Every structure is written in structure tokens, then in C-alpha cells.
Amino acid sequence: MASLDKKKVLIVGINYAPEHTGISPYTTQLARHLRSCGVSPTVFTGVPHYPDWVVPPKYRRRLSSTELIEDVFVVRLRHYVPRTQSALRRALYELTYGLQVVLRRNSVQPDVVVAVVPSLFGAIAAARISRIAGAPLVLWLQDLMGRATTESGIRGGALLARSTGAIEARLIRSATSVIAINDDFRSYVLSLGLDELQVEVIPNWSHIATPSESRSVVRQRLGWSEGQVIALHAGNMGLKQGLENVVEAARLSEKESSPVKFVLLGDGSQKKLLRERAAAVNGVEFLAPASEQEYPNILSAADVLLVNERASVAGMSLPSKLTSYFRAGVPVVAAVSPGGITAIELSKSSGGVLVQPDDPAALLSAIRQLNCDKPRRDRITEAAARYARDWLRPEPALESITSILERSLSRPPRGEPSTNSAGPIVS
């Protein structure tokens, strides 16, 4: 097996630090890990925009810029960022990033290319770079974009689902190796004709720190009384999450004078509409995205952590928030499709309660029942913590990815090999 020592690795992924939610932490930690192993990683990423879908002013002025973040060379590529979501806007978002990556194709000579999906078109551009360089392509599937266009509820998505799925399948078949984050993704990849040795399941790991403040201090600061039952949803407020269900559960809670209060922490394309829908509901509170340091404090201060998805969502992605939830020491209630990958992951961990999606009364009832059953809450939180400790540690996952990159180097390249010296990829 070839060694990665002093090799040049190009990582193409639209999300990277300083974003600290969603997929960004995994891409960022992989690049840092590779650098610590003596590898020379370069990252082609987008401008910071997730989960609020707004580009900070400092990144709006140039089509590209470079940064050195913890000794990793990062190339920022300016792309279109839609404030609201539709199939056309999503396509422009993907295409403008992918085009920017393609335009950099002659400036790189990597030994191996890692493409993170999403973005699909960014990964296609990465595949182009790998062919030019004669370098293996390792595809890291965080989402399945063909399914996403069907399941997410994005306006006009049904029209694009078939073509997106076909493009994605062709991309997967072109990869030297594929990293799937769960068994369902792996089964799909194998159905496309890849050899079993080309595909490996590496679950996303838990990346949040331990809380730095006590639960009581955090609740007091946030204005949550001990008599309130705080049901917290953290992360993206997009179409996929279907958080209208949570707002309606809060409306029912208020009507029944229940102590359950619903808190939506984060940002997203649907936040404005959700605020409007919840304008007359006192049992809903919106919190701005928390800092990386504050995030674990807020999670641990809640009584219940929520996962909510539209009923149509089943196999497009696994919520990245789950890995953080399992570390928080708070039980999870998930209103998700019973046959979907989120439900499978929750059942595997025994770290939460499953509820029928798009049913506000069922969601509220599950939260109230769980709050009244301390032995059950304790069993769930202990199971979640054990699952995080046994299966969601970063070190084994990062070492496994490194091994995959090394094995990929040993495979015959798709083009003429190039001789590279150590140092940054971009000239």
C-alpha cells in the first residue's frame, strides 16, 4: 500500500471552516488530520454561507482568495448563494461553484483528489481535475443528490430528479474509491456496479466539545425556567426539515397549557417563513446560530433534542446534528420517516424516540411522555453516550479515510502519472 507521506491531496468541498455546523466540520477535520500526518492538503471550497445562506462582506469582493487555516492551504471560490431555495437557484449554486473549480484545473497537480458531495457539480469538477492529473478520485458521499431533489420538497425539484440521479450515478462509477456514511448509501453505490473493495462505510463522527458551563447557568442566561420543558431543534431550517410541524406542535402545547416550549436554534432558508407562521405562538423561540463554544452548552441545557424531517425524506442524507445530539446527554425525539436512514440510525443507537412525521400532536405527546418517564430518559441518554463513545469517535474514522487514500494511490491512475514535489498544490 502506497504511503501518503509528503503527497499532495486536493480536497474539493463547498463547506469548510469557519462554518462549524453541517458537513464543514468533517471536511475541515480531515484536512487538519492529513496535515498532521505529513500530507500537503489543499482545499478548494466555497465562501462561508451555511446555515444562514448569507455571504460575509469580506468574501463578496473577489472571485477567489486564499487563506492558511491551521497550516492548511485553503482556496475560497466565490459562487452564487441563494437566500431562498428553488430548483433553479440550487442549480445555479451548484453550477457556479463547479465552474469555479473547473477554472482552477490547470493550477493543480494533486496525487489524489477527494470530492465531497454535496456539491455534486463541485465533485464533477474534481473528477475532471483527477483525470487531468492522472490521480485517483475518492468520492465522499455525505448526501445523495439524486434523492435530495426528489425528497427535499424544493420547488421544481421533481423535474430535476431523474437527470441529477443519472449524473450522480455516472460520477460514482468514475470514482477510484467511495466513502459512504451509512450502509444504505453503500448499498446504492454497489447497485451501480462498483466492486465491494471500492466502497467503505465510515460514519460521521461526533465533533462537538464537552459543555463549558453548567446546565443551570445556561438556562438562566437563556431565560428558560426549570419548570419549562425545552424541546430544542438545532441546525438548518430548510425545506427538508419541515419545521412547520414543530410550530404546529408548539401551537398545540400553548393551547393545552403544556410546559413544553419549542426552541429553534440556527438559521436557514425557511427561517423567515417559520417566524411569520409562529408570530402568534408564544411557545416558540428562535435563537441565532451559536458559536462553536456555545453550541454544546445550549444542547446540554435542553430537556429534549429534536430531529424533524418532512415525511417524504427517507434516503437523501443523515442529519449531521445527530452525532452532536448523542454526545449532549439529552434524549432525542425524531419525527422522521419510519423506514428512512435517520430512523435506522436512531434505532441502531437506541438513543432516541421515533415519532410519525408531519403529526404535531404525536410529536408533542412523545415529548411529554418522555419528560414524565425519568428511567426511560436515563436509558436513552446512556445508550446514546455509549454509541457515541463506541462508534462516533473521530480518530478511527480519520485513520480509515487516510487508509482509503493510501489504497487509492496503489490503484492504476486513469491518466498519465505526474511527478510532484512537496508543497502547496496551487502554483
Q: Do 313 and 337 form a contact (C-beta atoms < 8 A)?
A: yes
Provide the residue type at 427 as one letter. Answer: S
Smallest CA-to-CA distance from 315 within 421, 161, 419 is with 161
188: CB partners within 8 A, 6+ apart: 144, 315
Q: Which pLDDT value is given to residue 171?
A: 95
Beta strands in 228-289 (DSSP E): 229-234, 260-265, 284-287
Sequence ranges of the domains in the chain: 8-205+393-409, 215-390
User: Which cell goes with 358?
Assistant: 408531519
Q: Which pLDDT value is given to residue 113?
A: 97
Q: Which pLDDT value is given to residue 165?
A: 82
pLDDT tens, the chain, 427 aa long: 678 888 999 999 999 999 998 899 999 999 999 999 999 999 999 999 998 899 999 999 889 999 999 999 999 999 999 988 787 888 899 999 999 999 998 888 999 999 999 999 999 999 999 999 999 999 999 988 776 666 555 665 556 666 788 899 999 999 999 999 999 899 999 999 999 999 999 999 998 888 999 999 999 999 999 899 999 999 989 888 999 999 999 999 999 999 999 999 999 889 999 999 999 999 999 999 999 899 999 999 999 999 999 887 766 567 888 999 999 989 999 999 998 888 999 999 999 999 999 999 999 999 999 999 999 999 999 999 999 999 999 999 999 999 999 999 987 544 433 334 344 455 3
Question: Distances in Å between the alpha carbon of 197 and those of 171, 179, 193, 241, 409?
Answer: 18, 11, 12, 34, 14
pLDDT, one tens digit per residue, over 187-196 is: 999 999 999 9
Q: Which pLDDT value is given to residue 233?
A: 97
pLDDT, one tens digit per residue, over 288-303 is: 999 989 999 999 999 9
d(CA 268, CA 43): 25
The CATH T-level fold of domain 8-205+393-409 is Rossmann fold (3.40.50)
Same-fold call for 8-205+393-409 versus 215-390: yes
**Model pTM score:** 0.87
Provide the residue type at 105 as one letter. Answer: R
d(CA 210, CA 217): 15
DSSP letter string, 14-68: S--TT--STTHHHHHHHHHHHHHTT-EEEEEEE-S-TTTT---GGGSS-SEEEEE
Please give the radius of gyration of the chain, using alpha carbons only, rounded to the nearest integer: 22
Domain 215-390: assigned CATH number: 3.40.50.2000
